[in-house]
Amino acid sequence: MGNMLSAARARMHRAADKLDLAQETVERLDYPTETLAFSIPLRRDDGSLEQLKGWRCRYDSTLGPTKGGIRFHPSVCEDEVQTLAFLMTMKCALMGLPFGGGKGGVSVDAGDLSLMEKERVARGYVRSAARILSPDRDVPAPDVATGTREMAWMVDEYGALTGGIEPHAFTGKPVALGGIEGRTPATGRGGLLALEAMRESLGLDGSDGLSIALQGFGNAGTWFARAAVDAGHRVVAISDSSGMVSDAQGLDIDAVIEAKEKGGSVTDYDGGETSDDGSAIVEVECDVLVLAALGGVIADADDVGKLSCKAIVEIANRPILSAADEPLREAGIDVVPDILANGGGVTISHAEWVQGRTGLGWDAEEVDDYLQEKMEDAAEQVRDLMEDKGLDMRTAAYGVALRRLCAAISATGTAEDFGG
């Protein structure tokens, strides 16, 4: 078992220790159900052949078909894929969705691929993983460096392999190909809904708008920023892989988006202060630090010591490592954890999956209402468990998820039922 998965499991067991759960049901969640490893031969545009490593993990299917994204990134490895599938298992249970957790990826620098090369990788991934994919078994979605276009390629390839038309075998597709309105902004908008629902628990329950520093300005970060400004908050700093831009009075989000689209970086924004050091975003004084990039940003007590925020929202997966959990508690900085804060994406993926299975479309208002209902319901259950057991927010979120998972696992019998 890899270090990332081990650390994620430790958080689960910490929550389990606070609740009255059968130990054997928790132990069932210690290891993934199956992980498929494979290679994808990529014929480059110059005629050369390159072998890429790929994985697909179905972590647990107790609550339903496994669900999770596919990422193209050099960091992808078996440990990362299994860890993210574990987190998706917890997330789907917390959000009350009829899904288990899955994840997949290819170890490749997507920025080094031409458009045609990326299509070859996407279709090659489906051919390699097809044996465990299906609308009733494992349903992929977009993740890092994949989006609606990659899902269109993948669902087309899957249909060619199965001989059927099954658009609900993938979610996050273009609307014209069976996707759903609202899926693209769902993760970012869901993060803002989670923050609003947990404001009182975070000690940010005043009526004034919040000052927010945002690390990561991809799809999720962009939509979070838009939603935050619409709700009356100030985004005072934004960073991406190229640097940071800040303005204590609040940034013009539309202008930052336009500048990044034209120049490739938030530092191309003509206003505020810019810096080439995007990592300094964690030191910006603000009410809320939103982590919407990759994992491992806050790794230990030293990183916690640099923070100047009152609370953190994890829109990325595992941006805070377990070694930083206790230092954050000691510093009085609570965290809206990833399994709650980024639950909006999979929630609307569920709506898209239902739409595909039934053939009945959802309009934008129905999607918005469903997202708000599911985010607020999950947050309420986390708040209730925090108050009932005196838990921090992350531990309570895991606790809510574990109660659902363990109830389903124990329904088939435990040692007590069999005389153990």
CATH code: domain of residue 242: 3.40.50.720
| pLDDT of res. 93 | 98
Rg, Å, the chain Cα set: 21
Same domain as 285, residue 225? yes
Whether pTM exceeds 0.75: yes
Q: Per-residue pLDDT tens for 211-251?
A: 999 999 999 999 999 999 999 999 999 999 899 999 999 99
Same domain as 298, residue 269? yes
Q: Catalytic one among 53, 67, 91, 103?
A: 103
Return the amino acid letter for 138: D
Q: Which of 299, 314, 341 is the C-terminal boundary of a domain?
A: 341
**Residue 103 appears among annotated catalytic residues:** yes
Return the amino acid letter for 335: V
Same domain as 168, residue 274? no
Q: Which of 155, 181, 207 is the C-terminal boundary of a domain?
A: 181
Q: Per-residue pLDDT tens for 54-112?
A: 999 999 999 999 999 999 999 999 999 999 999 999 999 999 999 999 999 999 999 99
Same domain as 145, residue 66? yes
Same domain as 215, residue 153? no
Which residue in the block uniquely carries the two structure tokens 């019998």? Answer: 413
Instruction: Kindly give the pairing relationship between strand 273-275 and strand 243-246.
Output: antiparallel
Q: Which domain holds residue 275?
A: 186-341
Whether residue 281 lies inside any domain: the answer is yes
317: confidence class by pLDDT, cuts 50, 70, 90? very high
Same domain as 47, residue 176? yes
Whether residue 369 lies inside any domain: the answer is no
Sheet of 100-106, strand order: 34-43, 49-60, 100-106, 66-72, 138-142
Q: Per-residue pLDDT tens for 377-416?
A: 999 999 999 999 999 999 999 999 999 999 999 998 877 7
Q: What DSSP assignment string belongs to 19-65? A: S---HHHHHTTSS-SEEEEEEEEEE-TTS-EEEEEEEEEEEE-SSSS
Whether residue 420 lies inside any domain: the answer is no
Whether residue 262 lies inside any domain: the answer is yes
Same domain as 76, residue 101? yes
Which residue in the block uniquely carries the two structure tokens 């979070």? Answer: 224
Whether residue 41 lies inside any domain: the answer is yes
Could you give the number of structural domains in the chain?
A: 2
Same domain as 214, residue 129? no
Interatomic CA distance for residues 146 and 170, integer angstroms: 12
Whether residue 399 lies inside any domain: the answer is no
Same domain as 126, residue 264? no
Whether residue 415 lies inside any domain: the answer is no
Q: Which of 319, 341, 363 is the C-terminal boundary of a domain?
A: 341
Same domain as 206, residue 159? no
Interatomic CA distance for residues 387 and 187, integer angstroms: 27
| pLDDT of res. 420 | 58
Same domain as 167, residue 74? yes
CATH code at position 40: 3.40.50.10860
